[in-house]
Structure 1
Amino acid sequence: MLRKINLLILGILVVFVTGCSEDFLETTPTDSISEGDAFASVNNMFLVLNGLHRQMYAQNPLSGTASSRSGQSHFMPSLDAMGGDMIHSSPGNGWMTSDLRWLTHTNATFTTVNNFWYERYHFVATANNLINLIADNGYETTDPDIRNILGQAYAYRAWAYHQLVSTFAKGYLVGSPSTDPGVPLLLVAGAPYTSEPRSTVQVVYDQINSDIANSISFFNGASSPDNKSHLSINAAQGIKARVDLTQGRWSEAATAAAAARDGFPLLSESAWLSGFNSASLSEVIWAGTVIDSETNYYQSYFYYISPTFNGSQNRTNPKLINKEAYDAIPDTDFRINMALPLAPNTNSSASNGLGGSYVTDPNYDNEDDFWDAWEAIIDEYGMTTGHNTHPYMAVKFLQANPGGIDPDDVIYMRSAEMYLIEAEAKAMLSDISGAQAVLQVFGSSRDSAYDATAFATQDALIDHIKWQRAVELYGEGFSFHDHIRWDEGIDMTNSGASETLYRDGFMQDKPSVNDAWIWKIPQAEIDANPNLTEADQN
């Protein structure tokens, strides 16, 4: 698209091939195919799509981007750190420190905004190529494989534009969509490779709504997905549920969420506590099935968030759950085991200033108990002796092979999220009993004493759903945009975060009165796009 001509056609000029079956996914995937060959067969079009599946998690710098912030697997923990749900305990090796301080998305020249923008426009450009060239080459849309390809292409374009417009524009529910500037809307492929000005937020959402409707339509009668890396009709319904929720289309969001979770049963206690490292978990609707030989290791999802990953980011900076959210988990809820509130603070560089020994850690009064507690955690979870621990450290995300750097799957969508979307939408419709019924099914799967009737008003339901999302979806990348939808600011006072570490990210006013929630457009885009000027900058 925008910065360089070859970004527009990258989806067909260079495709990272991950194959179309489980067998292919177990082999080394890197290859490329020519523009002429990319659409010469159905199999090659699946290879184009597989390049997108892999781009969601892999370390492949696209034109105009850097490998240091690769794919959705980087931005999920980044957005949760910025949104205040995933707490950093120290600066660690520096990764994401600027993100949580709110210094990256407010800087138009920073790599973070650059990668977020160009990576998502890569998805748009590739989807455009698939959609338009299928039509131009006369493929029969009754063919199940063609319907699968189109279903995925339209879903990816809807997903990418929703990511862009909800990040680089004012929130739909807190702004004026019909007049607020959105993002450039590109629907064509090929010469003359020109860009477009910013469309309004409403126009962009109109296209997203159309694309996801087309996706769902094409998935009806389509061939089945090979694995959960591939988008499916359930994933498309899940994207629709997210998009509808963002717009306040409550009834549509509830219906789509219920459809998305169909066939994906909620996790048992043992499965929930197993580490969220496998796409095979029953709840997983959409995930990156990571290929061992093609992982990005020290820029992978688990490198950022897993307490067991053997990297300097986690050894020196165990991630914490927000203390307020965790302390509200009842003893009857097995998710109380997702964090360790009494883990000893072994890091002398911990940002709360209480780390290094039993002398500074208020939870311990002698050296033996302090180090015995650390050793017990290291042994139980398979960390190395170089790993530090910290009170309220999260142990939700655990490697299948702890203490190493082996890759694990990256989960993008679960049925638990869909239950919470459906409940929120019904609550916003003032359907109190309907919201309670959905929550009862979900909540009782986590808490043996759960009683949804305790939340008898719309306000009580919404507050409870906000808490459920903070606990259930911790680390999965939703908190930043949740704050925008709810028009809530950030106040980390009682979270366990250090104001010294977080700085501007420690407290922010609500999005409706605070444009710092809107990411800067990359300066490179302003400079290169003839349809944008400095006046278009956020």
Structure 2
Amino acid sequence: MFKKIILLFVIVAIATTSCNKDFLETKPTDAISSGDALASAENMALILNGLHRLLYAQPQTMLSGGDSYRSGNHYWVPLEDNLAGGVIHSARANNLGWQDETQWISHNQETSLTTEQLWYQRYHIIASANAIINKAAEGIIPEDEKFKEILGQAYTYRAYAYLSLVQHYAKGYLIGNPASDPGVPLLLASEAPFTSEPRSTVKAIYDQCMADVNSAIDYFKGATPRPTGNAYDKSQLNIDVAYGLKARIALNMGEWRTAADAAVLARKDYPIMDQDDYYSGFNSTLLPEVMWGSNVISTETTYFRSYFYLMSNTFAGSQNRSNPKIMDKRLYDQIPDTDYRKGLFLKDAPNSNTSASNGEGGWKNNTNPLYTTEAEFKAEIKRLTSVYGWASNQNTHPYMHVKMRNKAPGTTDPDDIILMRSSEMYLIEAEAEAMLDNVDAAQDALKTLGEERDSAYDVTMYDTKEKLMEHIKFQRALELWGEGFLYVDKIRWDEGIDHAANGGSGASQDLYQSGFQQAKPSTNKEWIFKIPQKEIDANPNLGPGDQN
């Protein structure tokens, strides 16, 4: 690795202890030793703060070779729905390679920014977590409550990063042969040259994830609790996040009992949001359901690299202004009128974009019978602009979403990134119980969520494993739309992509190209990210034959 891995914890210690210009100019990054950075629990807390920031920062500000086009989870979270076809482009995107992702010509290229930046960002997280974990193993620093909290976070971070890597750069656990399928290199070192084993098996990496998250839980049990009341607090990982991550790991391993039990423990202190909260824009970690998220600080100038730039139709950027993101029409048609989530997708928004990929943009091409005159067509556009606060030059499009909305609509402010919510935990529990043929238990898990979202919800309709699984797939697609789950879901369920089936999604084959249809993951290696060529070239434990 591991030429690309640098001592992130050293840079983090500098970045988080001072913003003083003279300090940064006169204290080069190699002047603070790893021993100083790891000398105390207080210094290690600075390393963790750097990891919190690394999740969303423009990487060139923190990592050697980083590129601003992939600003951490601003890019990786919506990528999962972009790749899998859940969040649909209505017209051509303009930059960041976002259209390449849609067309499946980025993640499967070994020289792309996507394959390279995701790989190295996650391994930087691992290297920094290793530094804390390995220092603790020396037994020099007393394991008081504060240090246990730091260790809990370090183990959780390592599990999170390895899970991300193995889910993207290897075959899915449930659709392959995990005991023999190649996973990713296992890096446990904390000092240069960061040597690693060759690619470990998929099972070995998942086992490491589970071991790490269990260690995290053990440490958190004796740790200082996470503070509450501030949006920044939920950037910190705690025992609930560790249980939530354990539920994700187990779900994707098919360890159904473990997944269900962990999901119940994870969500207990995070009540389901009501309609007002659900309609508030998904822009703050302070929402009651949020278990973990990145509180994006205003000085981090992601702006036109942010999650909301890529996702929010109220963001004042060309990515959405010329290309409103829309919902799959087939999913929309499944939503009952009594479900308030339906109101966040504007089926009848006029198609104002003359460059829309469906060729129906502008009044002259209008096909919606609601608008019988051009004046009515324009009046509705004006009304929507006033309701949602987007810029006057924002294009509208049928089925466009207003789920993710920036706090200051019509601006370029980057908002928080939600990484884990309690609703996901109900859905994990339901899926796991359904797979165990525990129909009553799966229904109970769905009932809490369903009855909050849909005033006419009747869970008794789903009285077999098969019916439950189809309904759970619908609920995950709707509840977690745009939040970064569909890619992994499709791999777990071994489902391909077909924008043409069942009346069509609303996506254009000309626009989507290879991404318009993809065979299921078990028979299609295109779902697996390529290992960066730079890694193949630099790592003595990898060769051309290790490429996916």
Q: Pick the TM interval, shorter chain.
A: over 0.9
Paired with 1:3 and 1:327, the residues of 2 have a C-alpha distance of: 50
Question: Per-residue deviation at 1:362?
Answer: 3.6
Distance 1:13 1:406, change over 3 A: closer
What letter is aligned with 1:216? I
Q: Alpha carbons of 1:197 and 1:8: their partners in 2 closer, same or farther (altered >3 Å)?
A: farther
What SS is found at the alignment partner of 1:286?
strand
Cα deviation per residue 1:440-486 (whole Å; 9 max; x = unaligned)?
11100100110111011111101101111111101111101100000
Partner SS, residue 397 of structure 2 = coil
Q: Deviations over 1:154-186 (max 9, x none)?
A: 000000000001110000000000100000001
Q: Residue 504 of structure 1 aligns to which amino acid in structure 2?
A: S
> CA shift at 1:14, angstroms?
4.0
- The answer to whether the Cα contact below 8 Å between 1:339 and 1:392 also exists between their aligned partners in 2 is yes
Residues in 2 aligned to 1:304 and 1:191: alpha-carbon distance in whole angstroms:
36
Instruction: Report the Cα distance in structure 2 between the residues aligned to 1:243 and 1:531, rounded to whole angstroms.
Output: 27
Q: Secondary structure at the match of 1:231?
A: coil
1:370-409 CA-partner distances (Å, limit 9, x unpaired): 1111111110000111100000001001111111112211
Unaligned runs of 5+ in 2: 228-232
Q: Output the CA distance in 1 between the equivalents of 2:465 and 2:16.
A: 46
Give the Cα–Cα distance (whole angstroms) in 2 for the partners of residues 204 and 354 of structure 1: 48
- Answer yes or no: is 1:144 the counterpart of 2:145: yes
Quote the residue 1:172 is aligned against: 173
Give runs of aligned pairs for residues 395-474 of structure 1, distance below 5 A.
395-474=402-481
1:482 aligns with 2:492: no
Note if contact 1:279-1:409 (Cα within 8 Å) is conserved in structure 2.
Answer: yes
What amino acid is aligned across from residue 77 of structure 1 in structure 2?
P
Q: How does 1:96-115 map to 2 (within 5 A)?
A: 96-115=98-117
**Would you say the 8 A contact 2:537–2:543 is kept in 1?**
yes
Separation in structure 1 between the aligned mates of residue 399 and residue 48 of structure 2, nearest angstrom: 40
* C-alpha deviation, 1:245, in angstroms: 0.3
Residue number in structure 1 paired with 2:199? 198
Shift of 1:510: 0.5
Q: Is the 8 A contact 2:88 2:328 kept in 1?
A: yes
Deviations 1:248-281 (Å, cap 9, x if unpaired)?
A: 0000000011111010000010100110111110
Which residue does 1:46 correspond to in 2? 45
Paired residue secondary structure (1:344): coil
Find the aligned partners of 1:503 and 1:353 in 2 and give their Cα distance. Answer: 16
2:125 maps to 123
Q: Distance in 1 between matches of 2:154 and 2:335?
A: 40
The alignment partner of 2:226 has SS state of: coil
**CA distance in structure 2 between the partners assigned to 1:172 and 1:12 by the alignment:** 35
2:539 is aligned to: 529
Match of 1:2 in 2: 2
Cα-to-partner distance string for 1:305-346 (whole Å, 9 max, x where unaligned): 111111111111111011111111111111011110000111
Cα distance in 2, alignment partners of residues 528 and 423 from structure 1: 44
Q: Which moved more, 1:298-307 or 1:355-364?
A: 355-364
Q: Of residues 521, 524, 536 in structure 2, which corresponds to 1:511?
A: 521
Q: 1:8 Cα deviation (Å)?
A: 4.0
Once the two structures are TM-superposed, the CA of residue 358 in structure 1 deviates from its matched residue by 4.4
Which one is further off, 418-427 or 90-99? Answer: 90-99
Query: Residue in 2 aligned with 1:214?
Result: 215
Distance 1:66 1:224 in 2: 35
SS in 2 for 1:182: strand
| Residue 184 of structure 2: aligned partner | 183
Match of 1:66 in 2: 67
> Deviation at 1:223?
1.0
SS of the residue corresponding to residue 228 of structure 1 reads helix
Secondary structure of 1:505's counterpart equals: helix
Q: How many angstroms does 1:64 deviate by?
A: 3.5
CA distances 1:223-250 after superposition (whole Å, capped 9, x unpaired) = 1224100001000111100000000000
Q: Which amino acid aligns with 1:402?
A: P
Partner SS state of residue 205, structure 2 = helix
Where 1:445 maps in the other structure, the secondary structure is: helix
Provide the rounded CA distance (Å) in 2 between the counterparts of 1:318 and 1:488.
Answer: 26
Question: Kindly tell me: are residues 371 and 16 of structure 1, through their superposed partners in 2, closer, same or farther at Cα, counting changes over 3 Å?
Answer: farther
In the alignment of these two chains, the number of paired residues is 529
How far apart are the structure 2 equivalents of 1:89 and 1:489?
A: 21
SS at match of 2:77: helix
* 8 Å CA contact retained: 2:348, 2:368: no
Any gaps of 5 or more consecutive residues in structure 1? none
Counterpart contact for 1:344–1:361, Cα < 8 Å? no
Tell me, yes or no, if the aligned pair for 1:489 and 1:511 is still in contact at 8 Å.
yes
Query: Hey, what's the Cα distance between the residues in 1 that align with 2:470 and 2:413?
Result: 38
How much does 1:43 deviate? Answer: 1.6
Residue 507 of structure 2 is aligned to residue 501 of structure 1:
no
3-state secondary structure, aligned to 2:200: strand
Using the size of structure 1 for normalisation, the TM-score is 0.95
Partner of 2:365, secondary structure, is coil
Contact 1:382/1:402 (<8 A) preserved: yes
Q: Is the 8 A contact 1:175 1:512 kept in 2?
A: yes
SS in 2 for 1:291: coil
Decide whether the 8 Å contact of 1:229 with 1:289 is kept in 2.
yes
2:32 pairs with 1:34: yes
Q: TM-score, normalised by structure 2?
A: 0.94
Q: Assess, with a 3 A threshold, how the Cα gap between structure 1 residues 437 and 292 changes in structure 2: closer, same or farther.
A: same
Pairwise mapping of residues 353-368 of structure 1 onto structure 2 (< 5 A)? 353-363=359-369, 364-368=371-375
User: Does the C-alpha gap of structure 1 residues 349 and 266 become closer, same or farther in structure 2, counting only changes over 3 Å?
Assistant: same
Contact 2:359 2:365 in 1 (8 A): no
- Cα offset, 1:359, TM superposition: 3.0
Preserved contact between residue 16 and residue 54 of structure 1 (Cα < 8 Å): no
Conserved? CA contact 1:69–1:115, under 8 Å: yes
